[in-house]
Amino acid sequence: MPTIVEGVDFDTVAREWRCKWSADNDKASLAAAQALLVKTKPEIDAVKGVKEVKRIVCGGCHDFKVIIALDAAVYGDWEAQEFSPEKAFLEALGSIPGISNVETQTFTFMTA
């Protein structure tokens, strides 16, 4: 099991795709982001080592986040593939009217 520092082990590495959505037009950008995720989900599920895919929406700060968690042992394989289908998903997400601040982040987590 990988260790960041003594006592801080992890077995999962996650990649987060996130953006801000607008409440304009009855939250049309949020609906479009969700539809894009539904369309892309089979490709995400096909990534070797995927443990889970979570979607987070915050109505107060207008966050839309997709978190893809993989076994730490195979995360490097996905990274070597440039996190496919990340590029296409982020480009499509950024083209939705009302979507802004499209970003990614990688982090580890472990059940305490």
Please write the tens of the pLDDT for every residue from 42-98: 999 999 999 999 999 999 999 999 999 999 999 999 999 999 999 999 999 999 999
- Helix orientation angle between 86-94 and 24-45, rounded to the nearest 10 degrees: 170
Tens digits of per-residue pLDDT, 2-30? 888 888 888 999 999 999 999 999 999 99
Q: Categorize the per-residue pLDDT at 34 as very low, low, confident or very high, splitting at 50, 70 and 90.
A: very high
Distance CA 28, CA 86 (A): 22
- pLDDT confidence of residue 5: 85
Kindly list the distances between the CA atom of residue 74 and the CA atoms of 68, 78, 91, in Å, as whole numbers in the listed order.
13, 7, 25
Q: Are 112 and 7 in contact (CB under 8 A)?
A: no
Multiple choice CATH, 8-109, 3.50.50.60, 3.80.30.20, 3.40.50.970, 3.30.70.100: 3.30.70.100
Strands (E), the chain: 3-5, 8-9, 12-20, 50-58, 63-71, 100-109
